[in-house]
Amino acid sequence: MVLEQNHFPGATNRWLAPRVDAVCLPSEEARDRLGGLGIVTGNPVRAEFFEIGEPEAGRTLSVLVCGGSRGARSINRAMTDALEQLGRLPEPPRIVHQTGVDDEAAVRAAYAAYPSDRWEVHAFVEDMPARLAAADLVLCRSGATTLAELTAAGRAAMLVPYPFAADDHQWHNAEALRRAGAAEVVRDAELTGRRIAEFVAGSDADRERLRAMGRAARALGRPEATEAICDIAEGLLASDVEGGGDVS
């Protein structure tokens, strides 16, 4: 049994798919790319993400910026370039920015001119369910687990796929959300502060569209993924035991 988390299956799993008993997949798109092999289960994430409700109506727009545990330099730079334009909005959004260790000091310094009660900068974010619950929209990469958490939480996003991912799989991941109306997708090389500021300002001005994107994201969430994957694994084990196979 193998678990493929991306919408564009990797080379190893493309080779393994016809040679194993079961392939668990995130979407029908992934299944199509394996020639119809596999079972669409979704990707497993912690139950806390599915307990997050819709963003609170009427609050100051809150933006979560995260580039993964090591941060994403292109996102960090573009976001800090957006601050001047965002700071001129009638009500500047609240921003929580996770930078990675290497860029924390530089990003923190860039926020010095932004309203002091409207930002937090952290090298690493410990409690992602709480951070997503507090956010109205998210600016991030499009790794498989990140998107599974976004869809579980029902949060709109601007996705910036990592440009060096194998087979450009983060682009394919992001496009699945864009086609569903859950996200805007920007190539890493095309990401600018102005593009971010315009998206954030537009989202603030049209909260109904933002809520619709969040609902579209939530519709892609699969709360049954963990149970489904475990059921398949246990079924294979039980079958092997009954057949006298070696399950070590």
**How confident is the model over 100-138, as pLDDT tens digits?**
999 999 999 999 999 999 999 999 998 999 999 999 999
pLDDT confidence of residue 113: 93
Backbone φ and ψ for 141, nearest 5 degrees, come out as -75, -175
In SS3 terms, the chain reads as CEECCCCCCCHHHHHHHHHCCCEEECCHHHHHHCCCCCEECCCCCCHHHHCCCCCCCCCCCEEEEECCCCCCHHHHHHHHHHHHHHHCCCCCCEEEEECCCCCHHHHHHHHHHCCHHHEEEECCCCCHHHHHHHCCEEEECCCHHHHHHHHHHCCEEEECCCCCCHHHHHHHHHHHHHHCCCEEECCHHHCCHHHHHHHHHHHHHCHHHHHHHHHHHHHHCCCCHHHHHHHHHHHHHHHHHHCCCCCC
CA-based nearest residue to 6, from 131, 162, 153, 155: 162
Q: Give pLDDT tens digits for 132-157.
A: 999 999 999 999 999 999 999 999 99
Q: Give pLDDT tens digits for 2-16.
A: 999 999 999 999 999
pLDDT confidence of residue 106: 97
Kindly state the average pLDDT of the residues 200-228: 97
Q: CB neighbours of 46 closer than 8 A, spacing ≥ 6?
A: 129
Domains and CATH numbers, the chain: 2-43+223-242 (no CATH), 48-220 (3.40.50.2000)
Contact 160, 190 (CB under 8 A): no
What is the value of pTM for the model shown? 0.93
The side-by-side arrangement of strands in the sheet containing 183-185 is: 119-122, 94-98, 62-66, 137-140, 156-159, 183-185
Q: CB neighbours of 143 closer than 8 A, spacing ≥ 6?
A: 68, 162, 170, 173
Distance between CA 116 and CA 233 in Å, rounded? 51
Q: Give pLDDT tens digits for 155-170.
A: 999 999 999 999 999 9
